[in-house]
């Protein structure tokens, strides 16, 4: 099975070759037993291991398990078997949780919240030939049928991510003269990019990455902090699932930074891909188009939107567009309407410029796909990066083309991508600051923009992964 | 047959170490060698953190690229009698196994244990940019080589296959996979016309593959507009160990092999053999050409019959090959 993770993640040292210079960081605790001498290992037909000691007694041996958390901490790997990597998160795990929850008494039950990304929704819309609104409503109906209590849209949490990104850029642009590492700002919403940057480049790149959380993780804050308070439950009583266009998002949800020590719970408990949602539908024997639509849920009780809302700027979140427009206005008093992209070496590497009287005021770029990330990083390391801001995504063509999106067996990939883009673009757009509920939440949940609360709940930090050096490394 | 390949000289090129690879410059006046002692040496009638595994001259002869286990590729520019490092290409995750220049001189290919093949483009200011990262192989990629006249790239891997790549729109794609070898494919060489490709392997055979264009007379099936490659000849039973390198002389069409049994062999196509099913005969076999594995053989591009070889024994040897009478 070809690896489902993004190209950037695949090349990040998750390889099968167990070189002596690579060490698994998972500590293996060895329990010493007295007088056991030499023991034999016997393998049963079902693959389980039994230790047979000299007196003939047998003891079943535990399998060493690698979890996603371990992966993030490590620079070497024992195995890259995909099944091992995503053992804790899969649609089977989700179904288990939903089924188990149903059997509990209402007071004991966990509150199940599912946050759907607009990219996944667009992919499903194309498959079932529905418009975005119907897809959203029918998905809501489907998840509630399975046992979910609320179904939200991560386009809502993205508003916060965009607003924070805008503010951060203006602040860093103004700080250029004081700090060499203020610019360029590199986006942070793509975990494939972040994992690669942390492991391969570490502190030479990390200072440039935006600290704004991705829409998935802002939703984590919204659900486990704001929504939990509103529902009068502790965060660990909520089981938060997100539906995402790629597998890399599963790794993002497992980051220790997104685990609350206080409540012993993750901000996002489980990530399922668009493909896994399709599997759930197939297992239920249900076609999305046949379902009766349900009304859409809203995080803000004062808002009742019966239609999804989207953003300008493309299927990867529109970071460049929002930050560019905001910066042009805030820094130079220039109003920008349409943004013109100039393709560079290939269609996944494009630049945008704000010019006035022959001077370049802002120079932004989008860099999608591993080869363009390579070139960007190399330029940056040599001090030759001409950009102030770069929207970086690990997948060519961006999130709509993520590794977890649905494939059409009989249609060419190009056509499918175009259809998904078209459906994605059908949804009405709204500027983040104008979306109902956003200003309200900045007020009474976060106690103002730029507050400590806002910083804690809407931002994060990154950590260079140290490469383990072993005395066994062979010097060729 | 022993006299058809005569020793001209030996040099202790990489003392107490392995000599891994050789490359003649296009003018045929300089030979670059590289080795486990982390050195690249230029030999004529005129630095890396780990083993330098391969070197390649640019078509114009002014640049030398060196591929290293330290995961970087250095570009050296000729500056009168000296070479200076003008660029270091980073990006591969681990050991780079091979580097090759395209005939146009604008493109460079590298391949690595990280299973990927990278295509780089160089501009007028000697700046290199990654144009494509190709993840088609499932194991360590050992060798890359360009077609002599087209922008077609070939790679050989530990996954037992040879893959071919070409440009499509703004990216590179794998357009053919050659299966047949039963073990690691170590090296590749195109024939002077570029219509045939020779591959050598750990399975102790050399295979010759031929390109068939869509609509070919022989009725070989092609998918779409991509040519098909078929194995038209297998040289087996000649080598007793892994064959590490194969070199196809651009002047005479002779094929030389470097083998783990310390021998060098030369093969030539039988005159009058069917182009679709050619036969090759062994025309030189020198056992103990070196005292250890022969890692590389390289034909001089200008002087007929002049062959260089290098070995795990750290030596570079020069040979004169003459096709035996009556063959």
Q: To the nearest whole percent, how much of chain A has pLDDT over 90?
A: 70
Taking the Cβ of residue A413 and every Cβ of chain B, the question of whether any pair is shorter than 8 Å is answered with: no
Give the closest-approach CA distance of B319 to chain A in angstroms. 29
Q: Whose structure tokens read 């409503």?
A: A137
- The answer to whether the beta carbons of residues B300 and B45 sit under 8 Å apart is no
Q: Do A11 and B116 touch (CB under 8 A)?
A: yes
Query: Among A51-55, B49-53, B113-117, where is mean pLDDT lowest?
Result: A51-55
Taking CA–CA distances from B169, the nearest residue in chain A reads: A346
A324 vs chain B: nearest CA distance in angstroms? 26
* A230-270 pLDDT per residue, tens: 999 999 999 999 999 998 899 899 899 999 999 999 999 99
Q: A469 touching B, CB under 8 A?
A: no
Note whether A371 contacts B170, CB cutoff 8 Å: no
Query: Does the distance separating the beta carbons of B135 and A345 come in below 8 Å?
Result: no
Encode burial over B98-131: b for 16+ CB neighbours within 10 A, e otherwise: bbbbbeeebbbbbbbbbbbbbbbebeeeeebbbb
Contact list, A373 vs chain B (CB under 8 Å): none
Q: Is the peptide bond before B6 cis (omega within 30 degrees of 0)?
A: no
Nearest to B89 by CA among B53, B57, B56, B121: B121
Q: Please tell me if residue B113 touches chain A, with a CB cutoff of 8 Å.
A: yes
Say if B203 is an interface residue toward chain A (CB within 8 Å).
no
Residue A129 CA to residue A135 CA, distance in Å, equals: 9
Contact B133 A7 (CB under 8 A): yes
Residue in chain B closest to A476 (alpha carbons) equals: B51
The reported pLDDT for the residue numbered B46 is: 39
Do the Cβ atoms of B288 and B314 come closer than 8 Å? no
- What tokens does B218 get? 């022989």
Per-residue model confidence as pLDDT tens digits over B71-92: 999 999 998 888 888 899 999 9
Q: Dig out the tokens for A408 from the structure.
A: 């059409």
Taking CB atoms and an 8 Å cutoff, what residues of chain B touch A346?
131, 170-171
Closest residue in B to A348 (Cα) is: B170
* Class of residue A160 by CB neighbours under 10 A (exposed 0-12, middle 13-18, buried 19+): buried
CA dihedral A165, A384, A395, B123 (to 10 degrees): 150
Q: Given an 8 Å threshold on Cβ–Cβ distance, is A11 in contact with B114? A: yes
Binary contact (A476, B114; C-beta < 8 A): no
> Cα–Cα distance between A237 and A111 in angstroms, integer?
6
Interface check B36 vs A, CB under 8 A: yes
CA distances from A28 to A47, A473, B234 (A): 20, 21, 50
Contact B170 A345 (CB under 8 A): yes
Whether the CB of A346 is below 8 Å from some CB of chain B: the reply is: yes
Q: Mark yes or no for CB contact A15/B114 under 8 Å.
A: yes
Q: How far apart are CA B296 and CA B309, in angstroms?
A: 5
**A16: closest chain B residue by CA:** B139
Residue in A371, A372, A383, A394 to test binding to B, most B beta-carbons within 10 Å:
A371
CA distance A193 to chain B (A): 14
Rounded to whole angstroms, the Cα distance separating B223 from B212 reads 11
User: What pLDDT, on the 0 to 100 scale, is given for residue B28?
Assistant: 80
Residue among B50, B130, B140 whose CB faces A371 most closely: B130
Cα separation, B119 vs B153, in Å, equals 9
A452, A456, A459, A460: CA torsion to nearest 10: 130
Q: A2: which residues sit within 8 A by CB, 6+ positions away?
A: none
Per residue in A291-328, pLDDT tens? 999 999 998 877 777 899 999 999 999 999 999 999 99
* Closest residue in B to A370 (Cα–Cα): B133
Set of chain A residues whose Cβ sits within 8 Å of the Cβ of B90:
378
Cβ-proximal residues to B82 (8 Å cutoff; 6+ apart), any chain? none
> Which is more confidently placed, B3 or A198?
A198
**Distance from C-alpha of B308 to C-alpha of B19, rounded to nearest angstrom:** 12
> Is 60 exceeded by the pLDDT of residue A421?
yes
**Does residue B88 belong to the interface with chain A, where contact is any CB pair within 8 Å?**
no
- The answer to whether B254 touches B268, Cβ cutoff 8 Å, is yes
* Residue B155 near residue B143, CB atoms below 8 Å: yes
Asked if residues A405 and A17 have their Cβ atoms less than 8 Å apart, the reply is no
In this prediction, residue A31 carries a pLDDT of 56
**Distance from the Cα of residue A309 to its chain's centroid:** 20
In three-state form (DSSP H/G/I as H, E/B as E, the rest C), the secondary structure along chain A is: CCCCCCHHHHCCCCCCCCCCCCCCCCCCCCCCCCCCCCCEEEECCCCCEEEECCCCCEEECCCCCCCHHHHHHCCCCCCCCHHHHCCCCCHHHHHHHHHHHHHCCCCCCCEEEEEECHHHHHHHHHHHCCCHHHHHHHHHHHHHHHCCCEEEEHHHHHHHHHHHHHHHHHHHHHCCCCCCCCCCEECCCCHHHHHHHHHHHHHHCHHHECCECCHHHHHHHHHHHHHHHHHCCCHHHEEEEEEECCCHHHHHHCCHHHEECCCCEECCCEEEEHHHHHHHHHHHCCCHHHCCCCCCCCCCCCCCCCCCCECCCCCCCCHHHHHHHHHHHHHHCCCCCCCCCEECCCCCEEEEEEEECCEEEEEEEEEECHHHHHHHHHHHHCCCCCCCEEEEECCCCCHHHCCCCCCCCCCCHHHHHHHHHHHHHCCCECCHHHCCCHHHHHHHCCCCCCCHHHHHHHECCCCCCCCCCCCCCCCC
Question: Pick from B129, B132, B135: which is nearest to A10 by CB?
Answer: B135
pLDDT at B168 over 50: yes
Pairing of strands B185-190, B171-178: unpaired
Rounded distance, CA B294 to CA B262, Å? 5
Helix, strand, or coil here: B4? helix
Model confidence at A15, pLDDT cuts 50, 70, 90, reads very low
| pLDDT score of B327 more than 60 | no
Please give the mean pLDDT across all residues of chain B: 93
Q: How far is A123 from chain B (nearest CA, A)?
A: 25
Q: Residue A76: pLDDT band by 50, 70, 90 thresholds?
A: very low
Please state, as a whole number, how many other Cβ atoms lie within 10 Å of the Cβ of residue A182: 18
Q: Is the pTM of this model over 0.95?
A: no
Does the distance separating the beta carbons of A11 and B133 come in below 8 Å? yes
pLDDT class for A20, splitting at 50, 70, 90?
very low
Which of A75-79, B153-157, B256-260 is predicted with the least confidence, judged by mean pLDDT? A75-79
Q: Provide, as residue numbers in chain B, all residues whose Cβ is less than 8 Å from the Cβ of A370.
A: 133
Give residue A9's pLDDT. 58
Q: What percent of chain A has pLDDT over 70?
A: 83
- CA B31 – CA A386 distance, rounded (Å): 40
Span B134-140, average pLDDT: 94
Best CA proximity match to B143, nearest among B175, B106, B120, B111? B111
Q: Say if residue A32's pLDDT is above 90.
A: no
Handedness of CA A295, A300, A301, A305 (dihedral sign): negative
**CB–CB of A195/A8 below 8 Å?**
yes
Any A CB within 8 A of B51 CB: yes
Closest-CA residue of chain A to B136: A2
Nearest CA in chain B to A21: B94
* pLDDT (mean) for A34-53: 69
pLDDT of residue B65: 95
CA dihedral B238, B242, B245, B251 (to 10 degrees): 0
- A114-142 mean pLDDT: 97
Confidence of residue A476 (pLDDT cuts 50, 70, 90): very low
pLDDT at A19: 33
ipTM over 0.85: no
Going from the C-alpha of A455 to that of each of A164, A168, A211, A433, A447, the distances in angstroms are 9, 11, 9, 18, 11
**Phi, psi (5° rounding) for residue A231?**
-85, 0
In DSSP terms, A94 is beta-bridged to: none
Which of A34-38, B146-150, B280-284, B298-302 shows the lowest per-residue confidence on average (mean pLDDT)? A34-38
**Residues B265-274, mean pLDDT to the nearest whole number:** 94
Nearest to B73 by CA among B59, B60, B62, B86: B86
Residues from chain A contacting residue B130 (CB–CB below 8 Å): 371, 374-375, 378
Contact A345 B131 (CB under 8 A): yes
- Site of tokens 């076999």: B285
Please identify among residues 60-79 of chain B the ones whose CB lies closer than 8 Å to any CB of chain A.
Answer: 69
Give B81→chain A minimum CA distance, Å.
28
* Cβ <8 Å between B171 and A475: no
Rounded CA-CA distance A185/A200 in Å is 18
Task: List the one residue out of A398, A458, A471 whose CA is nearest residue A167.
Answer: A458
Phi then psi dihedrals of residue B113, to 5 deg: -65, -15
Q: What is the DSSP letter of B323?
A: P
> Touching check for B170 and chain A: CB below 8 Å?
yes
CA distance A425 to A318: 12
Cα dihedral sign, B239-B240-B242-B244: negative
Confidence of residue A82 (pLDDT cuts 50, 70, 90): very low
Least confident of A42-46, A114-118, A472-476, B260-264: A472-476
Tell me which chain A residues have a C-beta less than 8 angstroms from the C-beta of B170. 345-347
Which of B165, B143, B163 is closest to B153 using CA atoms?
B165
Tell me whether residues B170 and A347 touch, CB distance under 8 A: yes
Does A13 contact B90 at a Cβ distance shorter than 8 Å? no
* Shortest CA distance from A373: residue in chain B: B130
Closest alpha carbon within chain B to A13: B93
* Interface mutation target, options A205, A345, A374, A465, chain B, most CBs of B under 10 Å: A374
pLDDT for the residue A33: 55
First to last CA, chain A: 33
The partner residue sitting opposite A371, judged by closest CB among B93, B95, B133, is: B133
């Amino acid at each position: 099975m070809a690896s489902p993770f993004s190209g950037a993640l695949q090349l990040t040292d998750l390889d099968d070759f167990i070189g002596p210079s690579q060490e698994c960081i998972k500590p293996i605790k060895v329990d010493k037993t007295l007088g056991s001498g030499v023991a034999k290992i016997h393998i049963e037909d079902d693959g389980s291991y039994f230790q047979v000691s000299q007196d003939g007694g047998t003891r079943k041996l535990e399998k060493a398990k690698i979890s996603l958390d371990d992966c993030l901490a490590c620079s070497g790997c024992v195995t890259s078997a995909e099944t091992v990597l995503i053992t804790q998160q899969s649609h089977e795990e989700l179904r288990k949780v939903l089924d188990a929850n149903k059997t509990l008494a209402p007071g004991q039950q966990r509150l199940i919240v599912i946050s759907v990304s607009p990219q996944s929704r667009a992919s499903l819309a194309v498959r079932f030939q529905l418009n975005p609104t119907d897809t959203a409503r029918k998905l809501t109906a489907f998840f509630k049928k399975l046992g979910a209590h609320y179904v939200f849209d991560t386009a809502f949490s993205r508003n916060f991510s965009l607003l924070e990104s805008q503010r951060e850029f203006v602040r860093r642009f103004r700080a250029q003269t004081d700090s060499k590492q203020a610019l360029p700002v590199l986006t942070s919403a793509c975990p494939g990019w972040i994992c690669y940057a942390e492991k391969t480049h570490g502190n030479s790149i990390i200072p440039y990455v935006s600290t704004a959380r991705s829409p998935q993780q802002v939703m984590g804050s919204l659900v486990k902090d704001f929504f939990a308070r509103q529902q009068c439950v502790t965060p660990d009583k909520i089981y938060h699932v997100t539906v995402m266009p790629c597998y890399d998002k599963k790794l993002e949800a497992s980051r220790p930074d997104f685990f609350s020590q206080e409540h012993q719970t993750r901000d996002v408990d489980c990530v399922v891909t668009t493909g896994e949602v399709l599997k759930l539908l197939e297992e239920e024997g249900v076609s999305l188009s046949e379902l009766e639509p349900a009304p859409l849920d809203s995080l803000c009780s004062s808002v009742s939107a019966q239609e999804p809302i989207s953003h300008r700027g493309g299927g990867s979140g529109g970071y460049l567009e929002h930050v560019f427009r905001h910066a042009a206005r805030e820094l130079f008093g220039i109003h920008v309407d349409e943004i013109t992209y100039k393709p560079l070496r290939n269609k996944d590497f494009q630049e945008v410029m704000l010019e006035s009287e022959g001077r370049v005021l802002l120079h932004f770029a989008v860099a999608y796909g591993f080869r363009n990330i390579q070139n960007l990083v190399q330029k940056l390391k040599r001090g030759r990066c001409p950009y102030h801001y770069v929207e970086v995504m690990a997948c060519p063509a961006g999130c709509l083309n993520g590794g977890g999106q649905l494939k059409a067996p009989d249609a060419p990939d190009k056509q499918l991508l175009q259809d998904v883009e078209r459906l994605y673009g059908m949804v009405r757009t709204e500027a983040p600051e104008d979306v109902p509920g956003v200003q309200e939440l900045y007020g009474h949940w976060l106690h103002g923009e730029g507050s400590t609360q806002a910083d804690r709940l809407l931002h994060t930090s990154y950590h260079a992964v140290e490469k383990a050096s072993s005395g066994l490394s062979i010097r060729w | 047959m022993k006299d058809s390949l005569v020793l001209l000289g030996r040099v202790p090129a990489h003392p107490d170490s392995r000599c891994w690879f050789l490359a003649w410059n296009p003018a045929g006046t300089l030979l670059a060698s590289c080795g486990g002692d982390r050195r690249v040496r230029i030999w004529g009638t005129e630095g890396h953190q780990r083993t330098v595994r391969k070197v390649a001259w640019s078509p114009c002869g002014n640049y030398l690229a060196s591929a290293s286990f330290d995961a970087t590729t250095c570009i050296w520019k000729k500056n009168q009698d000296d070479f200076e490092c003008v660029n270091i290409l980073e990006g591969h995750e681990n050991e780079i196994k091979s580097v090759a220049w395209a005939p146009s001189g604008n493109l460079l290919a590298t391949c690595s244990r990280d299973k990927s093949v990278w295509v780089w483009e160089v501009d007028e200011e000697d700046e290199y940019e990654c144009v494509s990262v190709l993840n088609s192989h499932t194991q360590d990629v050992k060798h890359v080589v360009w077609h002599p006249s087209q922008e077609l790239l070939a790679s050989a891997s530990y996954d037992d296959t040879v893959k071919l790549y070409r440009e499509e729109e703004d990216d590179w794609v794998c357009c053919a996979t050659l299966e047949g070898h039963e073990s690691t494919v170590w090296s590749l060489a195109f024939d002077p016309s570029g219509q045939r490709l020779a591959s050598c392997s750990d399975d102790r055979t050399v295979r010759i593959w031929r390109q068939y264009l869509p609509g070919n007379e022989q009725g070989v099936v092609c998918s779409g507009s991509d040519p098909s490659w078929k194995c038209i000849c297998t040289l087996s039973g000649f080598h007793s160990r892994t064959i590490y390198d194969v070199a196809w002389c651009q002047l005479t069409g002779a094929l030389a092999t470097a083998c783990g049994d310390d021998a060098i062999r030369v093969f030539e196509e039988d005159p009058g053999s069917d182009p679709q099913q050619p036969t090759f005969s062994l025309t030189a076999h020198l056992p103990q050409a070196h005292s250890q594995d022969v890692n590389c053989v390289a034909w001089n591009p200008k002087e007929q019959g002049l062959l260089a070889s290098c070995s795990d024994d750290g030596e570079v040897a020069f040979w004169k090959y003459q096709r035996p009478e009556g063959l």
